[in-house]
Amino acid sequence: MSRISTLYLLAYNSFQSIGWTISLIKIFANLLATASIDGTYASAGNLICFLQCAAFLEVIHGAIGIVPSGVLLPLMQWGGRTHFVLAIVRKLDELQELPSVFITFLAWSMGEVIRYSHYAFSCLGNCPSWMTYLRYTAFIVLYPLGVGPGEIWTMYKALPIIKKNNLYADSFSGLPFSYYDFLKVVLVVYPFLWFKLYLHMFKQRRAKLYKRLDKKRA
């Protein structure tokens, strides 16, 4: 990797790490100030929407080859999360104070602080072993927490509101199905697509952690 690419990735990952740290602080600050999770979206929603949109750069990184992730898996993750936060949560005020939104944002923020910090340290060529272990262990709990009681439950709760309001009717007017129908299909396939990403993370975990153990033994 060229020095310019490394410096760029260091800047990008540091930016995302700081951004998600701020979102996590906002979530906890709201929780402490109000003794409630109701204001989670109001306190951190706009920042999380921005950071998630900016993460499309990771799809481009894979496409042009400056990171080895490829295009498909980053695109799947980015598309699923961006659709969730922009098309559903941001659009429907009725959902924004649900506990599932708090769970999602908390799991996302914690996971992304760890992930981007690990990437930033790796760009420096001096990532602490505890950071690598945390990166490839915390996801075991955080990923299913964010998806199950977080994203999927929120989308399920959105269905009757979407049906009642005929949401995105104009956009789907030329199609033989509605956005309501589309979201029902998404809810069916979402766990399977997510599980593919989850298994990929376990493969990475074995590769990264066992590789480090082999180096220590050598």
- Please indicate whether residue 151 is annotated as part of the active site: yes
What's the N-to-C CA distance of the chain in angstroms?
26
d(CA 53, CA 106): 18
If phi > 0 it is left, if psi is from -120 to 50 it is alpha, else beta; for residue 35 that is: left
φ and ψ at residue 6, rounded to 5 degrees: -65, -45
Amino acid occupying residue 64: I
Q: Residue 158 in contact with residue 88, Cβ under 8 Å?
A: yes
Catalytic residue among 12, 41, 136, 143: 143
- Please indicate whether residue 168 is annotated as part of the active site: no
Catalytic residue among 12, 119, 151, 180: 151
Q: What is the CA radius of gyration of the chain?
A: 19
* Look-up of token digits 């941001």: 90
If phi > 0 it is left, if psi is from -120 to 50 it is alpha, else beta; for residue 44 that is: alpha
Residues belonging to the active site = 143, 151
